[in-house]
Structures are given as structure tokens and as C-alpha cells.
């Protein structure tokens, strides 16, 4: 009798289309690509494709030392949670620390969704792991695409939730990847104050009528999307540090079905440590903790995260620098004739529509400048991670050469 692997693999896993990461599309590791060979013989690659922080945390953090590894790590990451509790203004038992945000995403499916029975809502174009994790867990995905302005189609979401009681999760990525815009605002009053009072306005300055109307509409929107939904609403804030908008962590007490995701991969420059967080009610976090593997975050990562969180002033300084670079990059891209549109961004990347995305991508790759071709999600678009000032200048120099070629 011959062995047939397909006969014993779960069908949904056999049919699974794996997530395509920046590092799988451009093979930085493993097999050497022609572009990498070229880069190694000429100069280092400039990686502007994976939304990483270009600054190495070891350069400014003496606490990033190798710990003793003969003991198991803290299974509940107590030191990390104590620091986060103080920084975020919530209790330690409202915090889950995971092996990247991907672990939290997977656990949400395993905790709340019955395979082959339940479904979730995603709003494409958005982060692809929501769909991949659904496929792994054999959960149906209902797509409610963003409108032409990359905004949530609230009416359609509410209709699907009302018509289909199998919907257990609603995924909202805000700021959204790959579009870079805010999809839902936690506290418009706070955002208005942050924008106006810091520019010399009075603390008791009355709101204008237009803002009062917007404030009421935003509260109505949240009450509809979160307050009236029997399932879990997940707001993924991987890029929260790059926006002035209030985090949805501030609304956890208002909505017991709300889960907020954040990560150490972007602003903190620890993409390699694979550490992410979920913030939610004590009851939901208790479910996370009893479902996760016992030692899900290794000792090396825990020590690196603690050191980075303690050095919050340096992180803020780097974030401010990246935001400045982002605004310069947007202005520079808008000057290029083959760039049709540069979309507003509140993240550490910029999405642009160009005349021929594949041609521009290949040209930049030959110059050892690696960006992300997002044409599979939005036609003829490239996503540029915001790098250092030097990296952004190198990118623009190459793009100007392409324009004149």
C-alpha cells in the first residue's frame, strides 16, 4: 500500500494559500536572488518593503544583553506587563503578550470561532494574515471591501452582521495596511484637542458646530459597529505610534467585546523579537492565557522588549523623525510625473499609485532599493516604508533617475 500524504492532511490546510510576506516576496534570506547578488557586490540593500523601523535598538540601548537561557522564561511576561500597565493606564490582567501579533490573531480564531461553522468579516484591502489565519482555522471569511476613499462600508458591515449570526469577529486595521489611513477613531474629542490646543488654543475653547456634528456621528458609528455587535471587534493598531489619534485602549471599559492589538515590530524597532500585545477585558485576556502555549515568548525577546519599553523617550524621538521623513517623502513623491496619486498616511509607510508599478519596482530592485509592490491588492500601487533621511533621499534620487530614463 502506497502512502498518500493528501489523504491525512486537513483539507483546509492542503488548500491553504500561505501569507506572502515582504521577506517571502523578496528573498533576503536563503537562496540568493540576482538583486541580492548585485547588492552584495556593489552596496548594501536598502530595505523599504516591510514597514520596519530602520534604527537598530542595540545602538542606543545598553540593556540589550544576552540573558541566561538555561531556565524557562516567565510564562506570563510579568515585567513587560507592569511597564505596559503604567504606560497604557490599564491593569496587568488586561494585557496579553504574544509571539508577535500573529499569535494573538490565531488565538482569537481558536477561542471564538468554531471551525466549518463560524465566520469573520474583513475589510480589504487590509492585512493578509486575518484571511490566512481564518483559512488555517477553517473559518469562513466574509469580505466587506473599503469604499473608493478607503473608508469602512458601515452599512454593509451592519447588514452582514445582522443577517448572519455566524459572524464572530470583525477585523479593523487602523491605521490600515496597506492604505495608511485611519478607519475608525476612538475619541474625536481627544484628537481635536491634540490638534488644536497644542497650537495655542484655549483648553475651554468651545467646539464649532461642524465638529459637534462629527463628534455625535463618530459616537453613533462606534456604538453601531462595536456596541451592537454580539461578536468580538478587533482593532489592530500596529501603526498606532505614527498617528496623533487616540488609541482604542481608552475605550476598553466602554465596550467589553473590544480587543486592541499592538506590536513591538514597528515604532520600537524589534521586528526580529516577534512580540505583540492584545489589550482587552480581564475575562478575554484570561481566555488568551489559558489557550496559549505555556512559554510562548522566549527570554531573549522578553529582555529586549523590557529594555525598549524602558527607553520610551528614544522611541518617541525616532517616531517623530520618521513622521518628519514621511511628510517629506509624500511631498517629494507628489512631484514625480509618473506618480498618479500619493495616499494620505498615518503609518510608517506611504502608498502611491504609479503608471507602471511593476516597471518601477523592478527598476528600484536593480538599484538595490527594495519596496513593496501592492498591485495585487490595489492596481499599480507601490508601498514605500519610511526609512532614515539618507534612505529616503537615495530612494528619491533613484525615482528621479527613473523619471528621466
Give the chain's domains with CATH numbers. Answer: 9-55+314-404 (3.90.1150.10), 72-311 (3.40.640.10)
Q: Which band of pLDDT confidence, cut at 50, 70 and 90, is reported for residue 120?
A: very high
Q: For residues 287-302, give the mean pLDDT.
A: 92
- pLDDT for res 41: 46
Q: Which residues pair with 277 in a beta bridge?
A: 97, 262
End-to-end CA distance of the chain: 62
Instruction: Determine the Cα–Cα distance for residues 293 and 288; give it in Å rounded to an integer.
Output: 10
105: Cβ contacts below 8 Å, ≥ 6 apart: 129, 130, 133, 234, 261
Q: Which band of pLDDT confidence, cut at 50, 70 and 90, is reported for residue 154?
A: very high
Tell me the pTM.
0.87
pLDDT digits (tens, 9 = 90+) for 16-51: 776 666 666 776 766 545 555 554 444 578 887 777
pLDDT digits (tens, 9 = 90+) for 307-324: 999 999 999 999 999 999
pLDDT digits (tens, 9 = 90+) for 229-258: 999 999 999 999 999 899 999 999 999 999
Instruction: Determine the Cα–Cα distance for residues 94 and 195; give it in Å rounded to an integer.
Output: 29
- pLDDT for res 9: 66
Amino acid at each position: 500500500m502506497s502512502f498518500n500524504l493528501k489523504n491525512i492532511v486537513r483539507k483546509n490546510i492542503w488548500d491553504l494559500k500561505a501569507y506572502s510576506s515582504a521577506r517571502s516576496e523578496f528573498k533576503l534570506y536563503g537562496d540568493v536572488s540576482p538583486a541580492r547578488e548585485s547588492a552584495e557586490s556593489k552596496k548594501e540593500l536598502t530595505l523599504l518593503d516591510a514597514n520596519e523601523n530602520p534604527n537598530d535598538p542595540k545602538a542606543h540601548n545598553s540593556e540589550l544583553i544576552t540573558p541566561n537561557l538555561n531556565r524557562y522564561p516567565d510564562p506570563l511576561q510579568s515585567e513587560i506587563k507592569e511597564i505596559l500597565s503604567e504606560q497604557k493606564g490599564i491593569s496587568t490582567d488586561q494585557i496579553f503578550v504574544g509571539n508577535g501579533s500573529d499569535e494573538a490573531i490565531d488565538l482569537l480564531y481558536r477561542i471564538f470561532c468554531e471551525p466549518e461553522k463560524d465566520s469573520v468579516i474583513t475589510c480589504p484591502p487590509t492585512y493578509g494574515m486575518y484571511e490566512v489565519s481564518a483559512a488555517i482555522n477553517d473559518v469562513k471569511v466574509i469580505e466587506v471591501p473599503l469604499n473608493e476613499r478607503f473608508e469602512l462600508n458601515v452599512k454593509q458591515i451592519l447588514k452582514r452582521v445582522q443577517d448572519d449570526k455566524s459572524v464572530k469577529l470583525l477585523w479593523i486595521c487602523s491605521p490600515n495596511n496597506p492604505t495608511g489611513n485611519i478607519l475608525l477613531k476612538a475619541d474625536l474629542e481627544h484628537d481635536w484637542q491634540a490638534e488644536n490646543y497644542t497650537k495655542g488654543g484655549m483648553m475651554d475653547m468651545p467646539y464649532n458646530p461642524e465638529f459637534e456634528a462629527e463628534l455625535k456621528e463618530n459616537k453613533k458609528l462606534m456604538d453601531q459597529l462595536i456596541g451592537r455587535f454580539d461578536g468580538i471587534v478587533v482593532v489592530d493598531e500596529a501603526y498606532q505610534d505614527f498617528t496623533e489619534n487616540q488609541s482604542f485602549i481608552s475605550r476598553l471599559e466602554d465596550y467589553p467585546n473590544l480587543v486592541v492589538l499592538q506590536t513591538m515590530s514597528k515604532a520600537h524597532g524589534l521586528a526580529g523579537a516577534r512580540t505583540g500585545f492584545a489589550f482587552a477585558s480581564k475575562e478575554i485576556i484570561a481566555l488568551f492565557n489559558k489557550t496559549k502555549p505555556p512559554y510562548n515568548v522566549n527570554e531573549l525577546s522578553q529582555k529586549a522588549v523590557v529594555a525598549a519599553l524602558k527607553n520610551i523617550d528614544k522611541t518617541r524621538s525616532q517616531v517623530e523623525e520618521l513622521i518628519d521623513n514621511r511628510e517629506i517623502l509624500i511631498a517629494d513623491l507628489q512631484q514625480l510625473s509618473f506618480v498618479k496619486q500619493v495616499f494620505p498616511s498615518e503609518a510608517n509607510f506611504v502608498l502611491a499609485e504609479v503608471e507602471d508599478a511593476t516597471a518601477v519596482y523592478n527598476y528600484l530592485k536593480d538599484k538595490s532599493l527594495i519596496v513593496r509592490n501592492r498591485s495585487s491588492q490595489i492596481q499599480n500601487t507601490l508601498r514605500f516604508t519610511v526609512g532614515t533621511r539618507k534612505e529616503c533621499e537615495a530612494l528619491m534620487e533613484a525615482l528621479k533617475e527613473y523619471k528621466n530614463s
